[in-house]
Structure 1
Amino acid sequence: MSKKRILVAEDDPHIRTGLVDTLESEGYLVVATSDGNQASSLFPQDTFDLALLDIMMPGKDGYSLCQEFRAKSPQTAIIHLTAKSQEIDKVLGLKLGADDYITKPFGVQELLARIEAIFRRTGSQAKNDKTTELPSKLTIGPLTINRSTYKLEYEGQDCALTERELKLLEQFYLHPGEVLNRSVLLDRVWGIEYYGTTRTLDQHIAQIRKKMNSLGASDPIETVHGVGYRALNEKASRHF
């Protein structure tokens, strides 16, 4: 089995060195940088399974890098490293496409556990993912989801989707008209070992809706209060 490749973007030399030593001792291949601009230049030249991004560092910050990496490689997992503890800072990172965050100071074992959990989730999803049989383009209501380019398309316009957003839309496509419980969606998209709250799911749905609205399209996703979401039957369609 090939080793997982991890990008570490952290400006504190002590934390960066500690991360590199720890991750390499666990068998990961690590590329490290102290600058957001350097991280940006490294990313298209290499393929990473995970990026650990400090929020505040010289050059591009972790938020900007998260958006950039999501557009270039939706499959790469992202964990934000942040000294900020306010909820709004964590929420912003998740909205921009981060898979997780960890607040400094943090323990080595906690970080390793979070990394291992992400890799277990993605590995389990790859083995059991029925969406691999789906066509490259899906239709939900008036919208087209291009799975090859991670784009949401409507009347000649498009906008980028994160991997989580794409997977959520795939679930709505696979189950038109069905009410999908929040916990079910979390299990199918984030994995059964996800320990976060349903608020993360709600934030991702809100982001999808904003993107639909930005394209001028009607929203085919209905909120079923206290339960979850569904793609309205009369507006959802499936094509092969």
Structure 2
Amino acid sequence: MIKILLVEDDEACAYTIQGGLELIGDYAVIRAKDGVEGWSLYCTEKPDVVVSDIEMPFMDGGELLKKIRADNPSVVVIMESGKTTPKSVVESLELGADDYIKKPFIAEELHAHIQAIFRRLHIRTNENQEDSPATVVRIGKYRFDVHENMLEIGMQTIKLTDREANILQMLYDRKNTIVPRKEILSSFWKDENDPFHSRSLDVFISKLRKYLSFDPSVKIVVTRGKGIRLID
């Protein structure tokens, strides 16, 4: 059963969506009428998915999304709105939304969006129990699929080479701490003392910095004589 927090100030709309999702059978729906109540329920209920309107009283959907992402970069968040201008869509995605759906919509449409996200993130549901465990992590505003070697931010997707992905995963696994340069070299090259391999590592780090440059909060810092650190 997937626990959904539905944050919607239109009571009739919320009732229709909740009823439709529960008829599908895979969902337990918790409702909130505004962002303040939504944040409170998010903290107590820890939902698997948050579906939130954007324009709401007291706390709008954008502010709610910021708070959720600060608490949990991985929970699935879908923003809904009657507005689908490029600006509104981009703003939601840049804040960390996984998807954007235009109102009005039916429960089956929302269900399809949720299942598509879960398939992409390799999250297990009642419909895909044979799928592999989750292999997607967040690095700042990026999603890093360690299985597919993919970095995603907003509508942009970057395909990494195996070596790039492996180095990034190593840095991510020990993020905010310095990983000794020799340890990285010995993990991916046979001769850690070969100057050519050391220069190759510098090239890979330069490429990863470029890929991650769309989020200024994410940095790869090289400390001379010590090692390399991913700051997230």
TM-score w.r.t. structure 2 length?
A: 0.60
Structure 1 stretches of 5 or more lacking a match?
132-146, 153-160, 180-201, 221-235
Name the structure 1 match of 2:31.
32
Specify the alignment match of 1:164 in structure 2.
143
Q: Deviations over 1:124-172 (max 9, x none)?
A: 59826668xxxxxxxxxxxxxxx8xx7x7xxxxxxxx246269749936
Aligned to 1:164, what secondary structure does the other structure show?
strand
**Contact 1:51 / 1:78 at 8 angstroms: preserved in 2?**
yes
**Which residue is equivalent to 1:46?**
45
The answer for the alignment partner of 1:192 in structure 2 is none
Report deviation, 1:60. 0.9
TM-superposed CA distance for 1:238, in Å, is 8.9
CA contact (8 A) 2:122 2:134 kept: no
Secondary structure of residue in 1 paired with 2:217:
helix
Aligned to 1:84: 83
Change beyond 3 A, Cα 1:82–1:130: closer
> Match of 1:19?
17
Match for residue 95 of structure 2? Answer: 96
> 1:95 is aligned with what amino acid?
E
Contact 1:55 1:63 in 2 (8 A): yes
Indicate conservation of the 8 Å contact 1:44/1:72, yes or no: no
Letter in 2 for 1:23: L
What residue is the counterpart of 1:9 in the other structure? 7
**C-alpha contact 1:95 1:207 (8 A) present in aligned 2:** no
Per-residue deviation at 1:107?
3.6
Amino acid corresponding to residue 173 of structure 1 in structure 2: L
Name the structure 2 match of 1:134: none
Q: Which amino acid aligns with 1:17?
A: Y
Using CA pairs under 8 Å that are at least 6 residues apart, name the structure with larger relative contact order, 1 or 2: 1
Q: 1:12 to 1:238 in 2, by over 3 A?
A: closer
CA shift at 1:112, angstroms?
1.6
SS of match in other structure, 1:69: helix
Provide the rounded CA distance (Å) in 1 between the counterparts of 2:213 and 2:83: 24
Q: Determine if contact 1:37/1:59 at 8 Å carries over to the other structure.
A: yes
Distance in 2 separating the partners of 1:130 and 1:117: 15
2:71 alignment counterpart: 72
In structure 2, the residue matched to 1:109 is 108
Q: Per-residue CA shift, 1:19-72, capped at 9, x if unaligned? A: 110111122011001111100111111211100010001111111111110111
Whole-Å separation in 2 of the counterparts to 1:6 and 1:60 = 19
Identity %: 31
Q: CA deviation at 1:119?
A: 2.0
Q: Give the paired residue count.
A: 169
CA RMSD of aligned residues (A): 3.8
Measure, in 2, the Cα distance between the counterparts of 1:165 and 1:115.
Answer: 19
Distance in 2, matches of 1:124 and 1:38, equals: 27
Code of the residue aligned with 1:127 in structure 2: it is S
Question: Is the 2:20–2:106 contact (alpha carbons within 8 Å) kept by the matching residues of 1?
Answer: no
Structure 1 residues 37 and 174: alpha-carbon distance in aligned structure 2, compared to 1, 3 A threshold = closer
TM-score (norm 1): 0.59
**Which one-letter code corresponds to 1:20 in the other structure?**
Q
Residue pairs, 1:171-190, within 5 angstroms: 171=165, 173-174=168-169, 177=203
Native 8 Å contact 1:12 1:34 kept in 2 = yes
Rg bigger for which structure? 2
